[in-house]
A and B are shown apart, each in its own frame.
Chain A
Amino acid sequence: MTRDPEILILGAGPAGLGAALALATCGVEALIVDSGSAAGGQVYRPLPGAFEPGDASGLGPDYREGERQRRLLADSGAGTAFGRLVWSIGTDLRVDALGPEGPESWRPKGIVAAAGATERVVPFPGWTLPGVMGLAAATILLKSQCVLPGERVLVAGCGPLLFAVANAIRKGGGQVVAVADLAGPGAWLHALPALLGQPRDLLRGASWMARLRAQGVPLLFRHGVREARAAGAGLEVSLGAVDAAGRPIPSASEKTLEADSLVVGHGLIPATEAVRLLGAEVVFDADAGGWVPRLDRDQRSSRAGLYAAGDGAGVRGAAAAFLAGRIAGMTAALDLGRIDAGHHARATAPLRRRLARARRFGRAMARLMAQRPGQVDGIAGDTVVCRCEDVTRAEVEAALERGAADVNQLKSWTRCGMGPCQGRMCGDTVGQIVAARTGSREAAGAWTARAPLRPLGVDALAGDFDYADIPLPAAAPL
């Protein structure tokens, strides 16, 4: 890509796609950049390039919807840059990526951040063992590789993915040892009114649950994983009852089950690194999954030229993401002067009505997946919280005892969050542990975002070069 797009869209999930389609209708040159091989994101995930499904009907409604969206994108005329890892975004809006041809960069006039979400796993003893993986990770295996996470799988955590994954494992021929949900049936009932607004999704969810019951899969409500231990080639997993805040009830008896894998996830966290890198204002919203950019009703962030939409701006699900993405695209076109305010208002009014309904559903789902502070409070001292750097909760508490006052100071003193994942896995847990002392997540702060947004191979980034190709600055003074 030699030409700079007018608007660069970070992420080709439903939000990014919505933005690209909206921009295309306004005649704005947009470029959608994603690390994947095609559009779809996590929910409408494409198959790997080499995969040729003989019969796509077995791949489910998400795959079919993804195919439809990919066709829409191809027909829209929006530019695409797949297989690109965006690693730096400057305040001059320069976007740097590493692609198959090496480093690339663009200087758009505006950016739509549609980076999606990352998975939350609240640590427990044994969560770093082989055979333990996230619910979202299992979803990727199932959707994109058609691979089971194990033959006998224990599925635990919270939120709708629990039942989606358990059902997909059954469908793929695997055995589900049990489903352990932190929520009680009451929490699902409580969400019901909001779910009624999206009857198709509600039916799908209800049928997952009913099918698992009919197949005799034990559904353990208000239960969490106490510990996972290696046992032979598989795992031995202890489960126990939890209270409404997710805190283990010490007096409750434990149930031990054997499985060859444990699939566990505790919801989704908005991916805000790009937004924070640009210095846009973020606010903490537990019900939306964590830190989210502060947006106006047209999806503008506090920083001119930066828009955000989708789960990366607050977890509300794929349907809401697509609609918010379209609004963001229309707003970017308005700000570029390509459409007028009347056009913008007319185009976005029907989107807003549908978005309100989709958000009600998404909020109810997100609430089921929100972090349970009691669960974090219940993490034992010798449990590793930062798995990249092997930092235990007790080490975190010791640093707080010595005066570390926010997450970044804590990081300096303990290396918690300094590893390859740069705190994406532990940040939400650690933020809550610090907040328990500082009084709020705001006071605990958020990690400082820095390039590279993902680890980058030195060789790929440095490329082929001779000594003369190194742009050496002037020598330091003697």
Chain B
Amino acid sequence: MAQIPVGEPYDAAVVGAGVMGATTALFLARGGMRCALIDAGGVCREASGVNAGTLTLHMTRAALIPYAMRGWEMWKAAPDWLGGDPGVTVTDGLSLAFTAQEAALLEARVEARRAQGAPIEIIATSRARAIEPGLTDRFRLAAHCPMDGYVTANLTGMAYRRALVEAGVRLYENAPVTGIEAGDGGFRLAMAGAAPRARRLVLASGVWLEEMLAWFGLRIRIKALVNQLIVTERLRPVMRSVLGVASGLLSLKQFANGTVLIGGGWQGKGDRARRTTEIVPDNLIGNLRLARYVVPALAETRIVRSWLGFEAETDDALPIAGPLGGIPEAYVIGCVHSGYMSGPYFGRLLAQNILGQAPELPLFDADRLLVAPSCT
């Protein structure tokens, strides 16, 4: 990519270097645009780098199944388009029910996801135990998905960063954007030590979208979930699949190095403005109990760390992805439930849209969520 003359505006500035922003920037650059990617921290160091990395259709919102399946294909093909391999592993995924109520929930959810094309089916408990010999025998019902797996989320940033640099994307890291001005020729970003201009703007800042959208007078409520994760020390192989439960409150997997990652969206505490998070000890113990219940062999190991990440959620828990109404050449992308799995696909979809190509699947209009100022 040619050097950009000083003061010349970028074709596009993407604010937020998580999976969605980084993928958008990557495909915009590959589509011929001069692109800047700006983040208050580093590439994929918030939700995109600290999530559980689970790729499972059992936890995907039904409406997002077609996107998640395409996202999955992209993760599997990461060496082709991303260049690196952030530890993508394909394996069976099981979702379990322990009570009659959970069994009914599981059946309904399997039905809804199947209707959207997910290859999930209810299977006999004996078959579930054959797929995952590490399982407890105390479950009533199991659903199986043959195309689940995981990515080593902490390696995401390393893979993306190299791809972005090679594609000629200008990275501004540790560069918090404090304001954005929309003018005739495009956008000017206020940052310490730099004020890049761009003809197009993509907001991809996760839980910080609410604040940035408000700079343009757009009020959209974005809730910050604070998901806790726990990891064990290395132990002998005790499981081979990706395990979850009907309610979505467990994600459990064992990596090749022997560590077991325990998640499922149990909530910690956090302050997105100050960027601080902390665990809620009772929720850590609750999550741990559920994991230990599902895979009894976890009793023999120790936990060595917990951590937390912010997940953005809109009022209807569906994404915002597409042009921002009323602001020419401004786009938004984010709030995708289980967004790590679908993230690369959403990024590519938005890049296609910006590059003037017809997107494969519909985008998600942000206008539906606008809160009238009088209502707040």
Which residues of A approach B to under 8 Å, CB–CB? 88, 90-91, 94, 96, 103, 105, 277, 279, 399, 402-405, 409, 412-413, 415, 418-420, 422, 448, 450-452, 455-459, 461-463, 465, 467, 469-478
Contact = CB atoms under 8 A, between A and B. Distances in A.
Nearest to A477: B317
Interface of B: 42, 45, 49, 59, 61-62, 98-99, 105, 108-109, 112, 138, 154-155, 157-158, 161-162, 165, 173-174, 232-233, 246-249, 257, 265-267, 269, 276, 278-286, 288-293, 298-307, 317, 337
Question: Which of A96, A399, A470 counts the most B-chain CB atoms under 10 A from its CB?
Answer: A470
Nearest to A413: B158
Contacts of B246: 475
Contact of B303 (A404, A448, A455, A474): A455
Contacts of B281: 88, 90, 94, 96, 103, 105, 451
B305 A422 contact: yes
Contact of A472 (B249, B279, B284): B249
A458 B301 contact: yes
A477 B161 CA distance: 32
A458 B292 contact: yes
A402 B162 contact: yes
Contacts of A409: 42, 45, 157
Contacts of A470: 286, 289-290, 293
Given A88-B281, A452-B306, A458 B247 contact: no
Contact of B288 (A399, A448, A462, A474): A462
Given A403-B162, A419-B233, A462-B285, 7 more contacts: A88-B284, A402-B161, A419-B304, A451-B278, A470-B286, A475-B246, A477-B337
A437 to B, nearest CB: 15
A306 to B, nearest CB: 14
B305 A458 contact: no
A198 to B, nearest CB: 40
Contact of A477 (B61, B257, B288, B302): B61
Contacts of A105: 281
A434 to B, nearest CB: 14
Contacts of B98: 467
Contacts of B59: 476
Contacts of A476: 59, 247-249, 265, 337
Contacts of A465: 289, 293
A214 to B, nearest CB: 47
Closest 5 CB pairs of A and B: A476-B248, A475-B247, A455-B302, A412-B154, A459-B299
A452 B307 CA distance: 10
Contact of B289 (A422, A450, A462, A477): A462
Nearest to B297: A458
Contacts of B284: 88, 451
B155 A467 contact: no
A189 B200 CA distance: 67
B176 to A, nearest CB: 15
Contacts of A419: 233, 304
Contacts of A455: 233, 302-304
A412 B45 CA distance: 9
Contacts of A471: 282-283, 286
A303 to B, nearest CB: 12
Given A412-B45, A413-B157, A420 B138 contact: no
Nearest to B318: A477
Contacts of A474: 247
17 contacts: A88-B284, A90-B281, A405-B42, A409-B45, A412-B155, A413-B157, A418-B305, A419-B304, A420-B233, A452-B306, A456-B302, A458-B299, A469-B289, A476-B265, A477-B61, A478-B62, A478-B108
Contacts of A451: 278-279, 281, 284, 306
Contacts of B138: 467
B302 A475 contact: no
Contacts of B293: 465, 467, 470
Contacts of A458: 232, 288, 291-292, 298-303
